Chain A
Amino acid sequence: EVQLVESGGGLVDRGGSLKLSCAASGFTFSASAMGWVRQAPGKGLESVSAINAAGTTTFYADSVRGRFTISRDNDKNTLYLEMNTLKAEDAALYYCAKEGSSWSYGHWGLGTLVSVSS
């Protein structure tokens, strides 16, 4: 069974940093592209960042490019999202997701909440 467990969320001051982790199990992590998707309060889903299976190709939404860094450790079956210079608008529930068929996200974690204090 595919399991994705996010951690690392919390309350941080504006301008601060956080590093999210996503522990994966139940599938061949090193063969799967992964991504982070967030949902701000009262808003829709937003793709934040994605990374290919080897970790050699990354994508960032315009809203986070230059501030967030996605990475993965295929030996530890873990996906990361390092978030710097956090803004109020970065406050959201952050989901880890596993790419499935035809560029869909077939499995999602429960999410980790990031709050940014002003």
Chain B
Amino acid sequence: SYELTQPPSLSVSPGQTATISCSGDNLGNKYASWYQHRPGQSPVLVIYHDSRRPSGVPERFSGSNSGNTAILTISETQALDEADYYCQTWDSSSNYVFGTGTKVTVL
């Protein structure tokens, strides 16, 4: 089955840039999406189609996908960005696949 690997955690200072990686075999040949998941809330799609932002998602969120790695970048990080972030792709054998998740702490 297809797997996506993320770093377990990341700490960033307010105003700085957070960069979250997501690794998978030939991930660059698939579409990558990213979700923000705050405790007690439903996941929210923040990036789809590698780099597109849904309506209402701040421009601070950006994405890229090439080779074996997709990247979510959060610029000018704010306290409200503190959450778990999951990458996700679709694979013909595994269907929807989520990454292992990255806990982002803003301090």
Question: Which residues of A are in contact with B by a Cβ distance under 8 Å?
Answer: 35, 37, 44-47, 50, 59, 62, 95, 100-106, 108-111
- Closest Cβ neighbor of A106 among chain B residues: B45
Apart from the given pairs A47-B97, A106-B48, A111-B42, 14 other A-B contacts in the complex at a CB distance below 8 Å: A44-B86, A44-B99, A44-B101, A45-B86, A45-B98, A45-B101, A47-B96, A50-B95, A95-B43, A100-B45, A101-B52, A102-B33, A102-B52, A109-B42
Using a CB-CB cutoff of 8 Å, which residues 3-62 of chain B contact chain A?
Answer: 31, 33, 35, 37, 42-45, 48-49, 52, 54
Q: How far is the CA of A45 from the CA of B54 in the complex (A)?
A: 20
A104 lies within 8 A of B98 (CB): no
- Closest Cβ neighbor of B100 among chain A residues: A44
- Choose one: B1, B48, B89, B98; the contact of A62 (CB below 8 Å): B1
Interface residues in B, total, Cβ within 8 A = 25
Report the number of A-B residue pairs with Cβ-Cβ less than 8 Å: 66
Hey, which chain B residues are within 8 Å of A50, CB to CB? 95-96
Interface string of B67-99 (1 = CB under 8 A from A): 000000000000000001010111000011111
Q: How far is the CA of A105 from the CA of B54 in the complex (A)?
A: 11
Q: List 26 A-B contacts (CB under 8 A).
A: A35-B96, A44-B86, A44-B98, A45-B35, A45-B43, A47-B96, A47-B97, A47-B98, A50-B96, A59-B95, A95-B42, A100-B45, A101-B48, A101-B49, A102-B31, A102-B33, A102-B49, A103-B90, A104-B31, A104-B33, A104-B48, A106-B54, A108-B42, A108-B43, A109-B42, A110-B42
Hey, which chain B residues are within 8 Å of A108, CB to CB? 42-44
Q: How far is the CA of A108 from the CA of B95 in the complex (A)?
A: 18
Hey, which chain A residues are within 8 Å of B54, CB to CB? 100, 106
Hey, which chain A residues are within 8 Å of B52, CB to CB? 101-102
Q: How far is the CA of A102 from the CA of B86 in the complex (A)?
A: 16
Hey, which chain A residues are within 8 Å of B101, CB to CB? 44-45
